[in-house]
A and B are shown apart, each in its own frame.
Chain A
């Protein structure tokens, strides 16, 4: 594909796939002019996880607020924009619908092209704010909703080479955290506890069949729950810190090793890591160590760009825009959108 990757662009991105309502303006696919995010974490904490209906209601409440903030902070006007990019999927359908219909209304009102974006490609392109991508590359996207290994041979080309067969990595963090009586979201809590613990308990690593790049975290989750249960029955005192450290170790080891196998198999010249779980300190340090050993450039975006945001959607949307991807006003939310079409 022949893209003029250096073409000047100004794109407004909109993201509402889960529990963040977000809008951002990105210039040339790499410069963040503004990045407004209304997080719902505090709202969902009391439910112990994201409640789709509640999330959808809050998106309606925040959608114009974040768009106003993004436009005001960017210093650009509607006339300066080349397109509006919006997350079409995957995600919670009721949540996605707010962003998709809001984006269509804006595109119509300002006579602007509309570019559909796959959420995972957004996470991948968050890395382009850190440095230019080098191809071929392997991207590992890990969050509460996804555990994906994506092979890219060039800009705007995505092939999923590994995915989870059950829980997403972030989901496993949340469930284990809940079992340990920790508040939602569980990732940061486990990370915090693990810092004071030793990985002294052996929890299983699900390697699956020989050569598989897929993941499975439900067995690990059950093993942790069983361990806690058995120790409690024996009347043994449990070290929450050691459980957290041991669990985290198991997740990190599997994520890192499979990413490295993929990198080798696809002759990757760069490794990208993105998604909320890439904030985990163990995942980060192990990934850095493994990439270093292999002399592979590794990029992990800063935390603010790892969790859901719209700058990443605008960045991925820039590539879609350059590829000529356009949606008309019939664009609909797609909760199970495949990545290959993007």
Chain B
């Protein structure tokens, strides 16, 4: 099975092409977010370099979120458009789960997170089960201070993985049992996304496949709050 994996959900932009168990190629950048300009050229370049044509793909796998709204929309739009028009399978994978794969062989819990501003984080908690890294709780948006309070109660070593580590490094040094990820562990790898996608369930309705924002648009949240009053 030939897979095209696309991740533009955060600052890291990643594209991978895999064939069966083999990674044919990867493009990863961790620089300023002009994903709209760079993602399609990266896909085109990698497909050309690996000799895989659009028609030759079996499945398209995309990082579904959480993450930057704009980044998510770029990746999801390209993925669903290609899957729909080429009649290929489409699989969405949690953006946090992709990062969690970098904690393989860690003896404890794996806590990937993305900074979500105003003290909040998009956070997930994963654990090893045999060869697999599986979610221990659903991905969430919450205040980092609440998240750390919850994690502290688990009383286990925790591997924190985040490309936004810098902002939270100080806070985490005071967390008992915290292990920060290395630079390479902190960024999502699209070949891991492809691997997760190979095992994932293809979406039934490509048309209405949407990013997992984990947060309502502000206007929508305010409107709902007004209705409840």
Q: Which residues from A are CB-within-8-Å of B147?
A: none
Count of B interface residues, CB-CB < 8 Å: 34
Q: Which residues from A are CB-within-8-Å of B82?
A: 105, 108-109
Most buried by A among B38, B74, B77: B77
- CB of A94 within 8 Å of the partner chain: yes
Q: Mark A147-165, 1 if CB is under 8 A from B, else 0.
A: 0000000000000000000
On whether the beta carbons of B36 and A108 are closer than 8 Å, the reply is: no
Chain A residue nearest to B217 in the complex (CB): A53
On whether the beta carbons of B217 and A54 are closer than 8 Å, the reply is: yes
- CB of B52 within 8 Å of the partner chain: no
Closest CB-CB distance, A88 to chain B, in whole Å? Answer: 11
Chain A residue nearest to B60 in the complex (CB): A105
Q: Which residues from A are CB-within-8-Å of B70?
A: 56, 94, 97
- CB of B37 within 8 Å of the partner chain: yes
CB within 8 Å for A68 and B207 given contacts A53-B69, A56-B69, A332-B34: yes
DSSP majority for the B interface? Answer: helix
On whether the beta carbons of B78 and A105 are closer than 8 Å, the reply is: yes
Q: Which residues from A are CB-within-8-Å of B210?
A: 57, 60-61
Closest CB-CB distance, B57 to chain A, in whole Å? Answer: 10
Which residues of chain A from 280 to 328 have a CB within 8 Å of any chain B CB?
328
- CB of B106 within 8 Å of the partner chain: no
On whether the beta carbons of A61 and B208 are closer than 8 Å, the reply is: yes
- CB of B161 within 8 Å of the partner chain: no
On whether the beta carbons of B213 and A57 are closer than 8 Å, the reply is: yes
Q: Which residues from A are CB-within-8-Å of B218?
A: 53
Q: Which residues from B are CB-within-8-Å of A54?
A: 217, 219-220
Q: Which residues from B are CB-within-8-Å of A221?
A: none
Surface stretch bound by A, among B16-24, B39-47, B126-134, B138-146: B39-47
Q: Which residues from B are CB-within-8-Å of A106?
A: 81, 85
- CB of A172 within 8 Å of the partner chain: no
Provide the bound-state CA to CA distance between A333 and B41, in Å.
15
Closest CB-CB distance, B22 to chain A, in whole Å? Answer: 24
Chain A residue nearest to B75 in the complex (CB): A101
- CB of A41 within 8 Å of the partner chain: no
Provide the bound-state CA to CA distance between A68 and B87, in Å.
12
- CB of A329 within 8 Å of the partner chain: yes
Closest CB-CB distance, A159 to chain B, in whole Å? Answer: 29
Q: Which residues of A contact B (CB under 8 A)?
A: 46-47, 51, 53-54, 56-57, 59-61, 63-65, 67-68, 78, 94, 97-98, 100-102, 104-106, 108-110, 328-333
Q: Which residues of B contact A (CB under 8 A)?
A: 34, 36-41, 43-44, 54, 69-70, 73-74, 76-78, 80-82, 84-86, 206-208, 210-211, 213, 217-220, 223
A-B contact pairs, 13 of them (CB 8 A): A51-B220, A57-B69, A63-B77, A64-B81, A65-B207, A67-B85, A98-B77, A101-B36, A101-B77, A105-B40, A109-B82, A110-B85, A331-B37
